[in-house]
Amino acid sequence: MNPVRILGAGVTAPGLPDWPSGRAVLAGQRAPAAEPLAPFRPDFLPRNERRRTTRTIKLALQVAQQAAGERPGRDPELATVFASSCGDTEVAVAICRSLAQPGRPVSPIQFHNSVHNAAAGYWSIGWGSPAPSVSLGAYDGSVGAGLLEATTQVLADGRQVLLVAYDLPPPPPLDAIRPLASPFAAALLLGPGGDEPGLGTVAPGGIAAGEQSACAGAELEALRRGNPAARSLPLLEAIARGRSRGLRLPYAGDRQLALEYRAP
């Protein structure tokens, strides 16, 4: 597959609050600090929509805005791919508990937010974009599947595509069967070839067996293993370090998505 340009990036996790400050950690220039996520207020959303957002939706919107929302001359026709292994598990648990109560008092807002593309819908409203959007889930291979989908769209349609990967640890009782260590979200703004060097290029290859790419540092590797969205960390590390390398991200079962990152 031909390479696509990386025009912007975002990251949000404990110790990696945003791309500018997190880049130094990913480049190995300093250790990640044990800091919880700061509250995020999606001010680009209208007030009514803003008050309906959940923690999971805010996590996705935060990195999306980092990668694309603050760029001058933003593209109102920006297509998006939202990838999440679990979706909004807090909403799912709340609805299941409501259904077990007399009268089954399901909140309309919870029902509204229960679909897998809820985060993408809020982003489209805030961005004011009628562009196509895909929301997908592929268990631990969600990042790989999302990256393959986004790069394919860039090459097929010749347009910019925003990839957003995010997962929040589930609440009880789901945490017993799907334990995630911490929140994590990452975003990449991808585009077709051009004169702007951006943050380098990425070219997905075939689906292959073999080991997944790991992070250079032990703390980042623990973060990578602890959240499906954090499987993007080896690619983010390569971008932050400006180091070309071949990578393998989880895709399906024991198969990995091979890709090639080229630094600018």
- Measured CA to CA, the distance from residue 26 to residue 217 in angstroms comes to 9
The model's pTM: 0.94
DSSP per position, 100-113:
TSTT----HHHHHH
Give the Cα separation of 53 and 233 in Å (integer).
26
Class for the domain spanning 4-196: alpha beta
Q: What is the pLDDT of residue 67?
A: 94
pLDDT at residue 159, rounded to an integer: 93
Cis peptide before 173 (omega within 30 of 0): yes
**What pLDDT, on a 0 to 100 scale, did the predictor assign at position 107?**
81
User: Which residue type, as a one-letter code, is found at position 46?
Assistant: P
- Tell me how far CA of residue 168 lies from CA of 2, 54, 104, 247, 255, in angstroms: 33, 11, 26, 25, 24
What is the chain's pLDDT, residue by residue, as a tens digit (264 residues)? 789 999 999 999 999 999 999 999 999 998 887 788 888 888 889 888 999 999 999 999 999 999 986 554 566 789 999 999 999 999 999 898 888 888 778 888 888 899 999 999 999 999 888 899 999 999 999 999 999 999 999 999 999 999 999 999 999 999 999 999 999 999 999 999 877 778 999 999 989 888 999 999 899 999 999 999 999 999 999 999 999 999 999 999 899 999 999 999
Angle at 217 between CA 62 and CA 215, to 5 degrees: 65
Max distance between CA atoms of the chain, in angstroms, equals 62
Tokens 């919880």 found at: 36
Q: What is the pLDDT of residue 74?
A: 61
